[in-house]
Amino acid sequence: MVLVDLSANRRRERLAARLLDAAEQDRAARLVLPGAGREFVLCRAALRALLCSALDCDNADLTFRTETHGKPYALVGGRVAPVSFNVSHSGDHGLIAIAPHGRVGVDIETHDWAFDLPARLLSVFSARERGDFAETRDDARWRLRFYRYWTLKESLIKGVGLGFAMNTAKFDLPSALRRGEADGVFRFHHQPTANWHLATFGNRAFTAAVAIDHSGRGMPPNGTGLPSPRTRRCRFSRIPAGPRDSGPPARRRLVCHSRPTPNP
């Protein structure tokens, strides 16, 4: 996984925009909310760079389509790429996960300590999860629990590819994750053979989660022995060749710094 720096920087934004195709640039121009265009441009450019590196392809050959419920997938030269990926961004923070096997979903949420979280948002959680909130009296802990549960649920439904077409109140998060552990195993009742490795991480600024489908890859029944997902921080200094660039493609020109992100 890669954490992408989406903070404002005109030079990096100009470099990143060169990597997008015409349709993506038009999409960015139509985003009117403050910062939305910047977030999209920087995150999509980082995704393109990472996929070009993973697939050993030219940026001009890389395109995207979406499934029925909006989950994107990549094509190289018109053929579906043999990887799964997922992207999330919030404020100055972006998160990208690429999986060579199985499905993957991610979510990241920037903390807003002043925002009054409406109680109706709890409707996305199960009765057991709402009980956890009722037992949480401290406001800061309540908010951290909200971000933790929300990102875990959203990473799952994005991994499946259905988004909020799924009723997230119909399933419980694993008890280990609800108790505060960093990862656990999840299975949908209607798909008992699908093993999802869930992990959460973050810091004072954000909470993030990833859901990785380990079905068919010999995952232990209780999830023990699974490697913890690793994250890198990524910021553009130079970028791969864009669709209008000439000369040999430069596909590995991202500056990515490894830095631990403590669990909130």
Classify residue 123: in a domain, yes or no: yes
Token couple for 17: 């925009």
Separation between Cα atoms, residue 140 and residue 114, nearest integer Å: 11
- Please report the pLDDT score of residue 134 as a whole number: 92
pLDDT band at 230, cuts 50/70/90? low
Domain of residue 201 covers: 2-258
More confident residue, 20 or 139: 20
Give the distance from CA 34 to its chain's centroid.
21
- For residue 263, being part of any structural domain is answered with no
Higher-confidence residue: 228 or 163? 163
Look at residue 18 and tell me if it is in a domain. Answer: yes
Q: What percentage of the chain carries pLDDT values higher than 70?
A: 81
Residue 45's nearest CA partner among 78, 5, 92 is 5
End-to-end Cα separation, the chain, in angstroms: 18
Judged against a pLDDT cut of 50, whether residue 261 lies above it is answered with no
Check if the beta carbon of residue 124 is closer than 8 Å to that of residue 153. yes
Interatomic CA distance for residues 38 and 16, integer angstroms: 9
- Maximum pairwise Cα distance, the chain: 61
Which tokens sit at 193? 């053979």
Specify if 168 maps to a domain: yes
Domain count, the chain: 1
> No. of H helices and E strands in the chain?
6, 12
Model confidence at 248, in pLDDT bands (50, 70, 90)? very low
Distance CA 47, CA 116 (A): 33
Q: Is residue 141 part of a domain?
A: yes
Tell me whether residue 54 is in a domain.
yes
* Domain contains 85: yes
7-16, 146-155, 184-193, 210-219: range with lowest mean pLDDT: 210-219
Looking at residue 114, what is its pLDDT? 81
pLDDT for 64 = 96
Return mean pLDDT, the chain: 84
Grade residue 216 by pLDDT with cuts at 50, 70 and 90: low
Confidence at residue 72, expressed as pLDDT on a 0 to 100 scale: 92
DSSP 210: E
Q: What is the DSSP letter of 41?
A: H
Write the pLDDT tens digit of every residue in 184-205.
999 888 777 788 999 999 999 9
Question: pLDDT at residue 256 above 60?
Answer: no
Residue 84 belongs to a domain with what CATH number? 3.90.470.20
Task: Report yes or no on 264 lying in a domain.
Answer: no
Q: Model confidence at 118, in pLDDT bands (50, 70, 90)?
A: confident
Least confident of 53-67, 108-122, 217-231: 217-231
| Per-residue model confidence (pLDDT) at position 247 | 38
- Is residue 128's pLDDT more than 50? yes
**Predicted local distance difference test score (pLDDT) of residue 12:** 93
Residue bearing the bigger pLDDT, 79 or 236: 79
**Predicted pLDDT of residue 68:** 84
Q: Which residue has the higher pLDDT, 2 or 217?
A: 2
Give the list of residues 6+ apart from residue 187 with CB closer than 8 angstroms, or none: 193, 194, 195, 196
Of these ranges, 76-80, 139-143, 235-239, the one predicted with the greatest mean pLDDT is: 76-80
Asked if the model's pLDDT at residue 220 lies above 60, the reply is no
